[in-house]
Amino acid sequence: MTAAQWSDGAAGPVLNLFDELTDPGAWQDQALCAEVDGEIFYPEKGGSTREAKRVCRSCEVRTECLEYALEHEERFGIWGGMSERDRRNLRRKRAAGQAAA
Ligand code: SF4
């Protein structure tokens, strides 16, 4: 299972992306993580995220993936080259930026 195949809905991680996967323009079609071991995108707590982030750096849909994860408040896994903690920090920065504007 890869980050691009997971989602946060009650129906299960894969099924929630079905609609978007059936869209011929869906970014998931270009997800580089679909070509590698998906386990690296869901390390154990405290485990290394380095390998997953390395894959993400070469992925053409990194921005779309990250925005999807932020929009859907994905809590687990590496998305768009960011861990859960990275995404939480980014959300806080964006919220602070909006509050200051
Ligand atoms: S950015 Fe990373 S997690 Fe997202 S689709 Fe690309 S390889 Fe997968």
Token code pair at residue 76: 């687990």
What totals of helices (H) and strands (E) does the chain contain, helices first? 4, 0
**11: buried, middle or exposed (CB in 10 Å: 19+, 13-18, 0-12)?**
exposed
Residue 42 is predicted with a pLDDT of 97
Residue 11 is predicted with a pLDDT of 32
Q: What is the whole-number distance in angstroms between the Cα of residue 101 and the centre of ligand 1?
A: 31
From residue 24, how far is each of 12, 29, 68, 78, 88 by CA, in Å? 22, 8, 17, 24, 30
Token code pair at residue 87: 């995404």
Residue 5 is predicted with a pLDDT of 59
pTM, rounded to two decimals: 0.78
* 21 alpha-carbon distance from chain centroid: 15
Q: What is the whole-number distance in angstroms between the Cα of residue 100 and the centre of ligand 1?
A: 31
pLDDT in tens, 25-48: 689 999 999 999 999 999 999 999
Q: What is the whole-number distance in angstroms between the Cα of residue 95 and the centre of ligand 1?
A: 24
Pocket (CB within 6 angstroms of ligand 1): 2-4, 31-33, 41, 55-56, 59, 61-62, 65, 78-81
Ligand 1 pocket test, candidate residues 6, 51, 59, most atoms within 8 A of CB: 59
Q: Where do the structural domains in the chain lie, given as residue ranges?
A: 3-100
Q: What is the whole-number distance in angstroms between the Cα of residue 61 and the centre of ligand 1?
A: 7
